[in-house]
Chains A and B, each alone.
Chain A
Amino acid sequence: MLAQRLSLGLVTLFVISLIIFLGVSLLPGDAAQAMLGQSATPETVAALRLQMGLDQPGYLRYFSWLGGILQGDFGISISNQRQIGELLGGRFANTLFLAVMAAIISVPIALTLGILAALYRNSVYDRLVNVITLSSISTPEFFVAYILILVFAVNLGWFPSLANVSPDTPFFARIYACILPATTLTLVVVAHMMRMTRAAIISLLASPYIEMAALKGIPKWQIIVRHALPNAWAPIINVIVINLAYLIVGVVIVEVVFVYPGLGQLLVDSVQRRDLPVVQACSLIFAATYVLLNLIADILSILTNPRLLHPK
C-alpha cells in the first residue's frame, strides 16, 4: 500500500508540474518582459527572450526541464543564471526550521487547550480560551506580526524585529531570531487546531461507550484522555497536518514582514518575474512536502482507528 501511495504521490507531483507550467505560461507577459519592466522595448525583449531560451515552444522547454528533474537537476534560474539547487537548499532548510519551531510550540498548546476546553466545556475557561484564540485567528497575520513587533521589538526590545538569518547563524541565535515569527505563526494556527480537537472530542462524548464509562464513575478527564481522544484522532490529525502544511507552504507574509529568507518569498518573487524553472522547483518542493505529510496523516489515521485497520 505504501508503495502504491508513493507512486501516486509521484503522479501528483507530475500533474502539479504540468499545472504550474501551464498556469505560469497563461500569465500575461514572460520572464524577459518582467525583467526589463518599464524599460522594455520590443527589440531588447526579443533579444532577452532569445538569450533565455524563451523563443523555443513551451512543450520543448517543459520536456527539457522534466528531463533535467529526472536526473536530479533543477536547472538554472532564467533571470540570473544561478543554479536553482543552490538557491533552494538553504532557503528550504530555513522554511523547515521555522515551521518545525512553530509546530513544536503550537501543536502541544493547541491539543492541551482543546482537551481542557472539551473537559470544561461551556465554563468560563472554555469561553475565555475561545475568545482569545478566535480573536488571534481572525486578525490578519501581518497585523499580528506588526503588533508583536511593536510590543516586543520596539517597545520592550526583547526580541529582534528582523529574522534575517544566514547559513552561518548559530543554532541558538537562530532560535532567538525566530521567536517573533514563530509566535506569529503559533497565534495564527493554534485556534484552528484547538477548536477541532475540542469539537472532535465533544462529538464523541454522546457515544454509548463514553456514557457507559461515565456511569462506571471514571473521572471526566480520564474518560476524555483514555476513551474519547483515541477515537478522535482522525479529524485532529487531519487538521494538524493541514496546519503543518500551512506552516511550511503558507508563510509568505510572515517571511516578508520578518525578512526571513524562506522559500515562500522566493516563490512569490519568481512568479512575479515569471522565472518558470524556479517557480517549478519551489512548487514541487512544497508539493512533495505536502504529499508526504498527507501520507503520514493517513497512516496515523489508520493506526489510530482499529476499524479502518481491519476492514471487514
Chain B
Amino acid sequence: MNLDKEIKKLQSQVIENQMSRRAFMTSAMALGVGALAPSLYSEAANAAPKKGGVFRVGIGAGNTTDSLDPGLITSLFSQVMLRGGVRNNLVRYTNTNELVGELAESWEASPDAVTWTFKLRKGVEFHNGKTLDANDVVASIKHHVAEGTTSAAKPIVEPIESVKADGKNTVVFTLKGGNADFPFTVYDYHVQICPANSDGTIDWQSGVGTGAYIMAAYEPGVRARLKKFANYWDESRGHFDEIEMTTISDVVARTSALTTGAIDAMDRCDLKTVHLLERNSDVNVVEVTGTGHYTFPMFTDVAPFDDNNVRMALKHAIDREALVKTILKGHGVVGNDHPIATANRYHNKDLPQRVYDPEKAKWYLKQSGLSSLDVDLSVADAAFAGAVDAGVLYKEHANAAGININVVRVPSDGYWDNIWLTKPFVACYWGGRQVEDQMFSTAYATGVPWNDTHFKHEKFDQLLVQARTELDDAKRRGMYYEMQRIVSDEGGAIVPMFYNYVSATSKKVQYLKDGWASDADLDGYMGIQHWWFA
C-alpha cells in the first residue's frame, strides 16, 4: 500500500518534469522495485507534459478598468494572467491541497508562531533580467501593509507587524500575534512579488514579474497575449509557448467560442445548460468543489434580526436542497449556516444538517412573540449568479412558515458599496478561505470591516484567538468545531449552499493527474502554466 504510494509520488515527479530518469531509477532502487523501474519510468514519462502550442482561454470576468496593481486585482482575468502567468507568490497551493514553496524555498516559525523566516529561492530572474532578492519581497509585502495603502488585501495582511530583509535571500516577518497558519497569508493572490524600485515601492506598472509568462500585449477588458519566459526558474511548469486570453463576458458567447474551437478553455459554464455541454464529445467539463459559498447575511443588531429566534426561524424557512438543485442546478452542496466547507481541514461533520422545516420556523417565530414576519431582502445578481432567483425561491419557501420575504431587486451596479454592509438583509458571496482562521477572522470576528452580520460573540472571539496559536491538532479541531456550531446556531448568516467551480476545456487540454486545485477557478488560477496540449 505504502510502496504503491511512494512509486506514484516518484512517477508524478517525472510527469511534472521534476525528476530525471537517473534520479527515478536510483529512487526506485531504494524502494526495492529496481527491476520494475524502467517500465514504471516510461509509464510516467509517456504521460509527461508536452511543450508548445498556443493556448487560448476565454474568461468571463474582466473589466476595461482592470489595473496591474496587485493590490487592486479583482477580476478573474487579472488573477489568471498575473497570478497564474506573469508573477509568483512566495508560496502556492497545489492540487493535492498542500502549501508548497514558490519563490520561497522554505520557511520556519518561531515556537510562538510570531516570527516567520522565509528563505528565498536563489537565481530567480525577473522578465527584465533583474535577479530576485529579499528587497523585492519586502517591498511587495509593504505595498499592502504600509500606511496609506490602497490595497484590497490590507485586512488580510493586517496581522503583519513588520517585514524585514535579512541578507539577500531571507525575509523575516514579525506578526502582531502568533498564527500557526501564517504562510497561507502570503498565498493570497494579491500578495504577488513585483520588482522593487529604489525608493522601496514596487514597479507594478510595467507588468514585469518572475512568472512563467511575459506579458507581451495587454488591453484591459479585451485581451492579453503572454509569451513563454525562457529563463523561468521552474522548468516543470509553463508548457505552452503562448497564451491568448480573451474577456468573453457573455456566457453564451463563451460557450459557443469553445464549441466552435475558437478557444481551448472557458470558466463559469452556464449551469442551466452544462448538462447539454457535457454531451459534446470535444469538451471536458471540469467541476471542483471549493470553499466558495453564497450567503444571506442579516445584521444581528438590527430589529427584527437582533432576536436569535427570528434568525432561527429564517434559517428553518429556507429549503437548501431546493436552492442547490435550482440555483446551482446541482453543482454544489448544501451549507449549514457556517462558512467552513467540507474541503476545509476542520469542517465540523458532527454538526447536524439543518433542514427546511416550516413548522419549526413557526415555532421559533412564536418564541419571539411574533405570529408573522415581514422582512425586506435586497438582492442583485452582482451578489452571485442567480441571487435574484434565489431570493424569489426563498420567498416561496418562507411563505409556508408565515414569513413574508419581500424580495427587493437592486441594481447590480454599485451593489457592494450601497447594499452589502448597508442594508440589514441581503445576498452575498464569499470565495471562502483554505484556513478556518482566515475565514472567521475576516467575516465573523467582532468589529472587523467585513463582518456582514455585525456578529458579536464573546466566546467565539476568545476561541478564535486561542485556536490561532493552538498547536495540538485535536484541541484545535475541537475549538473550530465549537465555533462552527456557534455561528450556525447563533450567527446572522444563512449559508444555504457551497458552489462548485464549473469550467470546461477542449479534450486536447491535459491536466495534472490529481485534477484541478480547489482553491480557485481554472485550476487555482494556475491552469495556464500547469496544463498542456495532448
Contact = CB atoms under 8 A, between A and B. Distances in A.
Interface of A: 27-29, 32-44, 47-48, 50-51, 77, 79-82, 87, 142, 146, 149-150, 153-154, 157, 160-162, 164, 166, 256-259, 261, 265-266, 269-273, 275, 278
Contacts, number: 132
Contacts of B250: 142, 256-257, 259
Contact of A40 (B63, B148, B417): B417
A35 B74 contact: yes
Contact of A154 (B260, B413, B449, B450): B260
A266 B64 contact: yes
A146 B263 CA distance: 18
A34 B253 contact: no
Nearest to B219: A261
A92 B128 CA distance: 33
Contact of A79 (B65, B416, B417): B65
Contact of B247 (A33, A51, A80, A259): A259
Nearest to A49: B150
A48 B150 contact: yes
B27 interface: no
A43 B154 contact: yes
Contacts of A261: 219, 222-223
11 contacts: A36-B152, A38-B416, A39-B152, A40-B417, A42-B449, A44-B151, A48-B150, A79-B67, A80-B68, A154-B259, A161-B260
A44 B413 CA distance: 20
Q: Can you list the 3 inter-chain pairs with the closest CB atoms, starting with the nearest?
A: A79-B65, A29-B417, A39-B152
A38 B152 CA distance: 9
Interface string B417-428: 110100000001
Given A261-B219, A271-B413, A38 B150 contact: no
B246 interface: yes
Interface in B214-255: 219-223, 246-250, 252-253
Nearest to A48: B150
A167 to B, nearest CB: 9
Contacts of B154: 41, 43-44
Interface in B161-213: 205
Interface string B258-270: 0110110000000
Interface residues of B, number: 45
B65 A270 contact: yes
A149 B414 contact: no
Contacts of B53: none
B375 interface: no
A47 B154 CA distance: 11
Given A80-B68, A164-B223, A50 B449 contact: no
B75 to A, nearest CB: 10
B152 A33 contact: no
B525 to A, nearest CB: 17
Contact of B252 (A28, A38, A257, A266): A257
B65 A275 contact: yes
A132 B252 CA distance: 25
Given A42-B449, A79-B66, A259-B246, 5 more contacts: A35-B65, A36-B72, A38-B420, A47-B149, A265-B64
A125 B150 CA distance: 65
A276 to B, nearest CB: 11
B223 A166 contact: yes
Interface in B79-120: none
Nearest to B422: A28
A154 B253 CA distance: 11
B414 A28 contact: yes
Interface string B464-477: 00000000000000
B220 A160 contact: no
B286 interface: no
Given A42-B449, A80-B65, A162 B253 contact: yes
Given A41-B154, A44-B154, A161 B149 contact: no
Interface string B327-342: 0000000000000000
Nearest to B417: A29
A153 B150 contact: no
B150 A51 contact: yes
Contacts of B450: 38-39, 41
Interface in B108-160: 148-155
Given A40-B417, A266-B64, A269-B64, A164 B249 contact: no
Given A154-B256, A157-B260, A270 B64 contact: yes
B257 interface: yes
A149 B256 contact: yes
A268 B511 CA distance: 36
B6 to A, nearest CB: 43
A40 B417 CA distance: 8
Contacts of A47: 148-150
A259 B67 CA distance: 20
Given A270-B64, A273-B63, A161 B413 contact: no
Contacts of A38: 416, 420, 428, 450
Interface centre among A33, A261, A275 (most CB of B within 10 A): A261
Given A37-B416, A259-B253, A273-B63, A81 B260 contact: no
Interface in B47-79: 63-69, 72, 74
B422 to A, nearest CB: 10
Nearest to A29: B417
Contacts of A44: 149-152, 154
Contacts of B420: 38
Interface centre among A146, A154, A164 (most CB of B within 10 A): A164
A258 B68 CA distance: 26
A157 B248 CA distance: 19
Contacts of B67: 35, 79-81
B147 to A, nearest CB: 9
Contacts of A257: 250, 252-253
A28 B149 contact: no
A153 B260 contact: yes
Contacts of A157: 260
